[in-house]
């Protein structure tokens, strides 16, 4: 069984491809939350019993909208589309497409290991997973880490999963340059049981070139990101060492 829900391109209109991809990734994230008992069963409830009793004239798209609106109370990223991208409009997702995604959920492995699951979600969202995680340094509980655009929180997930007493909200800032990266960072927050996803922030690639940008004004102990040979946007010697002179910079 796969750990993600793959969208059938033939099942959605061209202008709904992005929102269908976004919704499918978040369906699985919510389902995993329910599977471990952090949320009441809604999307995994047998036969969608509660929804079936109360839906009336509402459609499957309305159900998705309600699920995401509820989840956005604590995790605006990744459930509030206004923070991600203007193209992510649920009204573009047909009721038939939403229903097809819901019906496909029982075929997803909701108990796969966290690293495997996050990697599969990254691939689904079109993000690279070719990261040399073993090269990352040990982070102490008082230290702050900036994850650069390009990886969507995968490095933060690895560090929090493998090093004791680190938390996403206390130790990390994950800069994201696309809705796909923000979606994955939010998924990482849910996977780690984080109380919020405020550690994830939308940052354009060119924004970091501005010396007055908020992230350039902050102090970090580590700056981590994707190596330029693997598609990373920055180089240590040309930019990052100057922008963050007090941080240890690691591109993996």
Distance from C-alpha of 26 to C-alpha of 225, rounded to nearest angstrom: 24
Token duo for residue 201:
């922030």
- Predicted confidence at residue 54, as pLDDT, reads 87
237, burial (CB in 10 Å: exposed 0-12, middle 13-18, buried 19+): exposed
- Predicted confidence at residue 10, as pLDDT, reads 67
The overall pTM is greater than 0.85: yes
Which residues, listed in sequence order, are joined to residue 248 by a DSSP beta bridge? 222
CA separation (Å) from 56 to 33, 52, 53, 59, 230? Answer: 26, 8, 8, 8, 50
CA angle 54/72/128 to nearest 5° reads 120
- Predicted confidence at residue 229, as pLDDT, reads 93
Q: Which CATH architecture has domain 133-251?
A: 3-Layer(aba) Sandwich (3.40)
In the chain, where are the structural domains located? 9-112, 133-251
Tell me the mean pLDDT per 10 residues along the chain, length 252: 77 85 96 95 91 91 96 97 94 92 91 96 96 95 98 98 96 98 98 97 94 95 96 87 94 95
């Amino acid at each position: 069984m796969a750990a993600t829900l793959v969208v059938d391109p033939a099942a959605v209109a061209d202008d709904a491809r992005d929102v269908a991809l976004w919704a499918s990734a978040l369906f699985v994230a919510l389902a995993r939350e329910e599977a471990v008992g952090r949320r009441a069963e809604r999307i995994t409830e047998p036969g969608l019993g509660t929804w079936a009793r109360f839906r009336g004239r509402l459609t499957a798209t309305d159900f998705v909208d309600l699920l995401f609106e509820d989840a956005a109370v604590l995790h605006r990223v990744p459930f509030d589309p206004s923070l991600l991208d203007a193209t992510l409009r649920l009204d573009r997702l047909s009721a038939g497409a939403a229903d097809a995604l819901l019906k496909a959920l029982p075929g997803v492995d909701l108990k796969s290991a966290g690293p495997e699951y996050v990697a599969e979600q990254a691939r689904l969202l079109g993000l690279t997973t070719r990261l040399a995680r073993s090269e990352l340094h040990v982070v102490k509980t008082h230290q702050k880490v900036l994850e650069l655009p390009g990886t969507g929180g995968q490095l933060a997930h690895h560090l929090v999963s493998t090093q004791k007493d680190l938390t996403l909200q206390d130790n990390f800032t994950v800069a994201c340059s696309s809705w796909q990266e923000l979606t994955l960072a939010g998924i990482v927050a849910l996977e780690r049981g984080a109380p919020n996803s405020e550690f994830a922030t939308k940052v354009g690639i060119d924004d970091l070139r501005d010396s007055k940008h908020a992230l350039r004004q902050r102090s970090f102990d580590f700056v981590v990101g994707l190596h330029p040979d693997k598609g990373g946007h920055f180089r240590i010697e040309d930019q990052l060492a100057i922008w963050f002179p007090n941080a240890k910079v690691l591109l993996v």
